[in-house]
Structure 1
Amino acid sequence: MGPYVQRRDESAYQGVGPSGRPGPKTVPAARPSGARFAAIAALSAFLPASAAAADLTSSESAVAAPAQFDERRYGDFRDTLHDWNVVIGGGAIYKPEYEGSDKFEVKPFPLISATYGDWLHLNTKGLTVDVWKWEGFKVSARGGYEVGRNDNDSRYLKGLGDIDPGGVVGGLLSYQAGPFQIYAGLDQTIGGSEGMTGTFGGKASHQYERFIFSADASATWANNRHMDAYFGISSRQSLNSGLPEYEAKSGIKRVDLSASVTYMVTENWLVTGVGGAGLLVGDAKDSPVVKDDVQPFVMLGAGYRF
């Protein structure tokens, strides 16, 4: 992102004044750290959303600390704040009314995320903790939620009943080589559909001056419970909705492609745009609930790094 991003560095060089005493420190401009770039690139990828921000505190604050400030007691806390990167913002997303719909809607979308160091990531989808790293390999644990589905989301869903929201726990294995990453994850929903899904794919990110470009390709597998909840139609649902009975079995349910661009307007402000499409396949595609197997989306947003 270029020299417009400045970073406070305790190891900055210190000059010597005319009196021979040490002069003021000079802090050179620095490019964003690898962790910060990766976090913003993840924000650009939108799904999952993750982001980074500038340092929250500065050792060269223009306001002097109170005389009673205990550096020995609170110094570690200040150092901890430097490890946090936060982005808060919002945008709008244009997407299908539900997975499989041919009708679209525009909804507001929050861009809220935080990272601590390079191992803890919090965003609107949940929390991810990196538990092991070695030579580009990484194992992470994550927790989040599944929003479910309401039969009021679309007239096509009338009579099918609601799918309650649920919590999600899972794990992720990935391998990073330069700007490229391959990954595989497995998630179990607790409550709601009680389903299990697995995602595997690859992505790439590239920084050019103030721009960050990202692209992602993935496929999603789902077990019987997930497929039955979202794509199956029981005899009772058939009676209530008028749709034919349908049994959806486990298998690959969709493949997805997406690309994004993030532009750093200033040191703190950023704008991002994401576009992509999913293609429903297998039993998901053949479900009477599905009106269109191509599921495109577009999102535009802006955020502020603290």
Structure 2
Amino acid sequence: MCLFRNGRDVNVFEVHAMELDFTKDTLVLVAHGSGVNAGSSAAVRLQADALRRRGGFLQVLTGFKMEEPRLREVLSLALGVRIFIVPFFVSEGFFTEEVVPQEMGLIENGVICRRQVRGGQTVYFSNPVGIHPQMTEVLLARAAGVVARNPFPRPPKPSEMALFIAGHGTKSNQNSRQSIDRQTDLIRARGIYREVHSIFMEEDPTIASCYDLSEARNFVVVPFFMSDGLHVVEDIPVMLGEAERVVQSRLKAGQPTWRNPTEKKGRLVWYADSVGREPILADIILEAVRDVSKLTA
């Protein structure tokens, strides 16, 4: 039975500072996964392990579209009185609005059920991690971190750099780019960087066009992806101008596929890791659970 039908209103509930008791409940982190690249699921498994070590849930499970356990199966493993499903995705879009709800039985009469009773269990379905307000801090930490770790020939000041938030984008779902554009606007408003731009794999402005968008000498590119999958490790470095044969050679040798910084078209380009391994994400996941747990009939 679906008790709450709304795809976008979870954030209107106040987040209280007090810790709620989830020790009888199951947390399920759901992600895309990959049958080709094991690194695609490494970040979500890392966050699941971190939350298990905290001991706040009866269980912490992971479920995938392309790996085991599958989305259709993982709920059968959940023993909790309440089951909290948190999408480990950067935005609302095709997977969080269609694939995940459909495969996990969360669609009733054409709408997503955010709170659903199944026998003696209550299932909650949260917003994706990537739209949480604290993701701004995650992106800034990624940008600052990659420059600080690779300060050659000297670490430029943020005011001397153009920051690019790189996303997937898709013309089939407008929500896919909204979280990227929103973060770009929020970071730009802080005035930390000389410029801040959104760039995309499948929409305009494209990742390859970044060199036409700014005249800054120093670029830092942060891939707004949850995992270090094929897009982050292989596709985007090529789009930024690295030769595909070089990327593949480094990949086979177990080396980073982008060397920081690399000079391309007269610019020094720093390229960060994806956001999914950032330690603060465990806290953001807990916030998502607290938010959705307040839904009532």
Using the size of structure 2 for normalisation, the TM-score is 0.29
Q: Which has the higher contact order (CA 8 A, sep 6+)?
A: 2
Bigger helix fraction: 2
Q: Whose radius of gyration is greater, 1 or 2?
A: 1
Using the size of structure 1 for normalisation, the TM-score is 0.29
